[in-house]
Amino acid sequence: MSTVGTVGTAGVMSEAPLRVWRRGRLLVDGAEGLRVGPGDIVALRGDNGAGKSSILLGCLGLLPSTLTVRGQIGYVPQQVRSSVALPLNLADTLRLVGVPGRQHEAVVAAAALNHATTRPWQALSTGERMRLLVARAIHSRAEVLLLDEPTASLDPDSRQRVLSAIAAAAVAGAAVLLVSHNDDDIAALGARAVAVVAAREAT
Amino acid sequence: MIEALSTLCGQLVQAGVLPPAFVHLFMARALIAAVVVGGVFGLLSPLVQARRLAFFSAALGQSAMVGVAVGVFLGEPIEAPWAGLFGVTTLSALWLVFARRRLGLSADTLVGVFLAISLAVGLTALVLVTRRFNIHQVEAVLFGSPLTVSDADLGVLMLVSVVVVAVVAASTRPLLLDALDPGLAAAARLRTGWWEYVFVAVLACAVVVALRVVGALLVEALVVIPAATARLLSSSWRRVTALSAVLGVVGGVAGVVVSAASLVPAGAAIVLCLGAAFVVAGLWSVLRGGRR
């Protein structure tokens, strides 16, 4: 782990060592801490199962960790469930994630999904769902953006649009912590890369 | 209100709209009970399915037998052991959620174990407490009947239905967002764990009052069929919820009318009417071109 940057009123912070547990088992045991301040973009890198997504879940309070987050959070998961047991259309989903009705049009336009407003959530492709959640997270002017592989399922145009939106959010003062396997994305964002190693390998 | 509804039913009987049995006052009570239970479960049904709690609801119905035994043991009358029923069923619901969260077992496995054990424990406890095997009491819990609903039962039913409406209104967003992705709910700082406990406690209370109307064996149908039918007709959460509630009410009324006009027990008739609506909606959905 590397420790760079400063945390003002909003951001993500963990003193060293950065640790995340699941059911009492140590998943992540970084020698150093983690700081993501306003305007910072930090990319978590590492092998599958290293604990990158677990660090985001630790930020959200879903796993016990040494991480603390200050400020309003915009989160984009790696995959969003799509089930026939959840009868949701796009507008229902926006309402659920807290977008007021008067802002639906702007978020849908930012996600380039104007053609899909009445489509069921499960009928949207993985990339379309991801575009919508990224657009919503950024449009909500969240102070802390936690993004789990936000460009993994996107076509080149959508990827470029999402990267531009993330960079703009950081310029506007958001603290961005993202998981990425894509070196081009990390370079395009000018992100600071932090290597994550699973606890069993680290110790 | 019951008298007024009974008078209206009498007029409709004279006009040939309703079967002759509706001249009796108990039929007006049965209608009200079926409407309220149908509406309450129609409202609960989409959330129950979104949270995958249908099997869980069936288990709660069967745990009611333990509730009857506990109520009788505590000195309650065997025909209305409300404290035992509400207490045991609610505690069972809370324990099941706690155990699932702590043990990491799949909900299906845990509920499956609980379902079998609770009925066996209930029958054993009832025999031990009453010192005899009363098959009519067992039948009443397993099959229920809106025709035997009393004014006191209706009062409890109304009270529970008000609580259900309030809890469904407050818990829909946290529970649904958590079902979509727990991280999204956590980012919105919604207390999903707390709401899950509140929701299952209220679901348990609704199951208890439904025992009077459809019984423990058929209560699962009430929580599954309305939303499943509505889901075939719409893909919008609001429409599915509204349709599900309407279907629950219509199924309840239709079931009581069918029961009065035939020898079919009322609980079974309600479930059959809901089932018929599901089949029709399924055919309609297929004719319209498949999955929405």
Give DSSP secondary structure letters for A35-79. EE-TT-EEEEE-STTSSHHHHHHHHTTSS-BSEEEES-EEEE-SS
Does any domain span residue A5? Answer: no
Using an 8 Å CB-CB cutoff, list chain A residues near B49: 85
Residue B229 binned pLDDT confidence (cut-offs 50, 70, 90)? very high
Say if residues A132 and A113 touch (Cβ distance below 8 Å).
yes
Least CB-CB distance to B231: which of A87, A89, A98? A87
Beta-carbon count within 10 A of B234 CB: 18
Residue pair B284/B291 in contact (Cβ under 8 Å)? The answer is: no
Cα within 13 Å of Cα(B28), Cβ side: 17
Residue A3 is assigned to a structural domain of this protein: no
Containing H/E element for A90? Answer: helix A90-96
Check CB contact under 8 Å for B236 and A81. no
Encoding tokens for residue B55? 């099997």
- Residue A1 distance to chain B (closest CA, Å): 24
Q: Tell me what ipTM this predicted complex has.
A: 0.88
Band the pLDDT of B291: cuts 50, 70, 90. low
Identify whether A1 is part of a domain: no
Two tokens, residue A59: 């930020």
DSSP string, A105-162: HHHHHHTT-GGGTTSBGGGS-HHHHHHHHHHHHHHTT-SEEEEESTTTT--HHHHHHH
Distance CA B205, CA B93 (A): 10
Q: What one-letter code names the amino acid at B62?
A: Q
Q: Per-residue confidence at B133, pLDDT binned at 50, 70, 90?
A: low
* DSSP code for B74: T
Q: Tens digit of pLDDT for each residue in B186-222?
A: 999 999 999 999 999 999 999 998 888 888 778 888 9
- Nearest residue to A154 (alpha-carbon basis) of A192, A112, A108, A93: A112
B143-156 residue pLDDT tens: 777 777 888 889 99
Place of tokens 């406990």: B197
Mean pLDDT along residues A131-151: 89
Looking at the structure of chain A, the number of domains it has is: 1
A92 with B236: Cβ contact below 8 A = yes
Q: What is the pLDDT of residues A28-73, one digit of tens each?
A: 888 788 999 999 999 999 888 888 999 999 999 999 999 999 999 9
Rounded to a whole number of angstroms, the distance from the CA of B193 to the nearest CA of chain A is 11
Q: A187 CB contacts (<8 Å, ≥6 apart)?
A: none
Collect all residues with Cβ–Cβ distance below 8 Å to B221 and sequence separation of at least 6: B214, B271, B274, B275
Q: Which residue has the higher pLDDT, A75 or B140?
A: A75
Q: Taking an 8 Å Cβ-Cβ cutoff, which residues of chain A contact chain B?
A: 23, 56-57, 60-62, 73-75, 77, 80-81, 83-89, 91-93, 96-98, 120, 133, 146
Cβ atoms A195, A146 nearer than 8 A: no
Is the Cβ pair A84, B234 closer than 8 Å? no
Expressed in angstroms, the distance from the first to the final Cα of chain A is 14
Cβ-nearest to A86 among B50, B187, B189: B50
**Are the CB atoms for B256 and B250 separated by under 8 Å?**
no
Give the pLDDT band (50/70/90) at residue A144: very high
Neighbours of B274 (CB within 10 A): 28
Tally the residues of chain A. Answer: 203
Across B30-34, average pLDDT: 90
CA distance A179 to A76: 10
**What is the predicted pLDDT for the residue at B62?**
83
Whether A188 maps to a domain, the answer reads yes
Residue of B181, B189, B194, B244 to mutate when probing chain A, most A C-beta within 10 A: B181
Using CB atoms, which residue from A75, A87, A88 is nearest to B184? A75
Whether the CB-CB separation of A8 and A37 falls below 8 Å is answered with yes
What is the CATH classification number for the domain harbouring A120? 3.40.50.300
- In whole angstroms, give the CA distance from residue A94 to residue A133: 9
Binary contact (B49, A85; C-beta < 8 A): yes
For B44, half-sphere exposure in the C-beta direction (CA atoms, 13 angstrom radius) is 33
Q: Where would I find the H helices in chain B? A: 2-14, 25-50, 54-73, 82-103, 107-130, 135-143, 151-180, 182-187, 192-211, 219-233, 237-261, 266-288
Contact present, B248 and B43 (Cβ < 8 Å): yes
Using a CB-CB distance cutoff of 8 angstroms, which residues of chain B are in contact with residue A133? 184
CB B72 within 8 A of CB B140: no
Which residue in B196, B195, B205 sits closest to B160, CA to CA?
A: B205
Which domains, ranges and CATH numbers included, belong to chain B? Answer: 2-288 (1.10.3470.10)
Based on its alpha-carbon atoms, the radius of gyration of chain A, rounded to whole angstroms, reads 17
Mean pLDDT for the stretch of residues B110-138? 80
Is residue A16 a part of any domain in this protein? yes
Q: How confident is the model at residue A3 (pLDDT cuts 50, 70, 90)?
A: very low
- Side chain identity at B196, as an amino acid letter? E
- Residues A137 and A102 sit within 8 Å (Cβ to Cβ): no
Mean pLDDT on A86-107: 89
Q: Determine whether the interchain pair B176/A86 forms a contact, defined as Cβ–Cβ distance below 8 Å.
A: yes
Q: Hey, what amino acid is at A25? A: R
Report CB contact under 8 Å: B180, A62: no
Query: Does A81 sit within 8 Å of B179, measured CB to CB?
Result: yes
* Chain B residues inside the 8 Å CB shell of A74: 187
Range(s) of the domain holding residue A150: 11-202
- Establish if A182 belongs to a structural domain: yes
| Secondary structure class of B211 (helix, strand, coil) | helix
Q: Are B74 and B84 contacting, i.e. CB atoms less than 8 angstroms apart?
A: yes
Contacts of A57 in chain B (CB under 8 A): 183
Residue B60's nearest CA partner among B39, B44, B78 is: B44
DSSP H or E stretch at residue A26: strand A25-30
Say if A2 falls within a structural domain: no
In our burial notation (b when 16+ CB lie closer than 10 A, e otherwise), range B191-227 reads ebeebbbbbbbbbbbbbbbbbbbbbbbbbbbbbbbbb
Residue A51 domain-assigned (yes or no):
yes
How many CB pairs (< 8 A) connect A and B? 72
Which residue, among B237, B243, B288, would best test binding to A if mutated, counting the most A CBs under 10 Å from its CB?
A: B237
